[in-house]
């Protein structure tokens, strides 16, 4: 098999775990693969995206181009159209998909956390749309906990989800006024991310009245939110498993490979160790 070439695009690309994670996943299936980073200026998209489509076997897309890449593709598949977001491009057929929902659902399953009942999503950014959309697909009722400045964004997300899931039950509350009682609380904000690791997006009392917590932040491995949730007896999962599972799903699209859960768990462990050594996560 000839060498395969992949990349992740974004701006600014900064420190990214993607090259390490994909190299580890390539190794599991004996793939001779190269994975690089492409920091692309916004005014260079018209030149750079066509070049990447010609030169690469596939690429991932991160902030701020998950929507901007869509006009350059021939097709959008799966739930990418529903979310208006593409994070995985297969160059052979110029198709786009999103593996974020797969990563999220697989990460919850690996932690024994059910996506059911009453769910609270903290924040109203792009990843909040994915979390709320998957909750809607599972028949959950969703409360958005947001700052006053983000309430309009949360309402727009609800409207967009109802176009695909008309029965979606959702409401918006001030993040400081949340009381808890959720089957699953999801942090989709950057609060608690390195280097400001002492912060939590909600009070401990909210966690104490909730059953499970998922924190999309992966650096550090154990955020204050995760540590507090576990101290209070909640099931809790950080963001690294989602990051690795969405990468594995991308390789399944690019290469037609499959991954066993046990294999992915080992990559999650090695990726966490690599992050702690190189990005001072803990």
Checking DSSP bridges between strand 95-97 and strand 88-90, what pairing results, if any?
Answer: antiparallel
Contact between 239 and 88 (Cβ < 8 Å) = no
* Catalytic one of 4, 66, 163, 204: 66
DSSP letter at 78?
A: T
Is 176 within 8 Å of 148 (Cβ atoms)? no
Residues 6 or more apart whose CB falls under 8 angstroms from that of 268 comprise 240, 241, 244
Q: Largest alpha-carbon pair distance within the chain?
A: 57
Active site residue 66: yes
Continuous segment of H or E residues that includes residue 268? helix 261-278
The DSSP annotation for 137-168 comes to: HTT-EEEEEE-GGGHHHHHHHHHHHHHH-TT-
Which 8-state DSSP code applies to residue 121?
A: E
From CA 197, how far away is CA 262, in angstroms rounded?
30
* DSSP annotation of 189: S
Phi, psi of 166 (to 5 degrees): -55, -25
DSSP β-bridge partners for residue 213: 185, 236
For residues 34 and 4, is the Cβ–Cβ distance under 8 A? yes
Query: 115: which 2 tokens?
Result: 């996506």
Catalytic residue positions? 66
């Amino acid at each position: 098999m000839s060498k395969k070439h992949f990349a992740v695009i974004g701006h600014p690309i900064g420190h990214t775990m993607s090259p390490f994670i994909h190299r580890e996943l390539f190794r599991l299936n004996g793939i001779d693969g190269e994975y690089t980073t492409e920091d692309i200026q916004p005014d260079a998209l018209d030149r750079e995206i066509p070049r990447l489509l010609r030169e690469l076997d596939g690429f991932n897309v991160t902030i701020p181009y998950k929507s901007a890449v869509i006009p350059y593709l021939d097709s959008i598949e799966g739930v990418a159209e529903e979310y208006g977001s593409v994070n995985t491009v297969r160059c052979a057929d110029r198709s786009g998909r999103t593996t974020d929902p797969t990563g999220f659902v697989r990460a919850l399953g690996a932690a024994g956390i059910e996506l059911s009942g009453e769910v609270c999503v903290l924040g109203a950014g792009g990843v909040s749309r994915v979390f709320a959309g998957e909750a809607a697909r599972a028949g959950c009722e969703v409360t958005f906990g947001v700052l006053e400045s983000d309430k309009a964004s949360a309402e727009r997300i609800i409207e967009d989800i109802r176009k695909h899931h008309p029965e979606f039950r959702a409401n918006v509350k001030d993040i400081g006024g949340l009381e808890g009682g959720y089957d699953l609380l999801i942090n989709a904000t950057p609060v608690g991310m390195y280097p400001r690791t002492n912060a939590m997006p909600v009070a401990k009392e909210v966690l104490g009245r909730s059953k499970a917590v998922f924190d999309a932040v992966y650096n550090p491995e154990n955020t204050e939110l995760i540590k507090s949730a576990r101290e209070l007896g909640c099931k809790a999962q950080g963001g690294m498993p989602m990051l690795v599972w969405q990468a594995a799903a991308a390789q399944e699209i690019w290469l037609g490979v499959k991954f066993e859960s046990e294999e992915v768990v080992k990559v999650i462990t090695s990726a966490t160790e690599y992050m702690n050594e190189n990005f001072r996560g803990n």
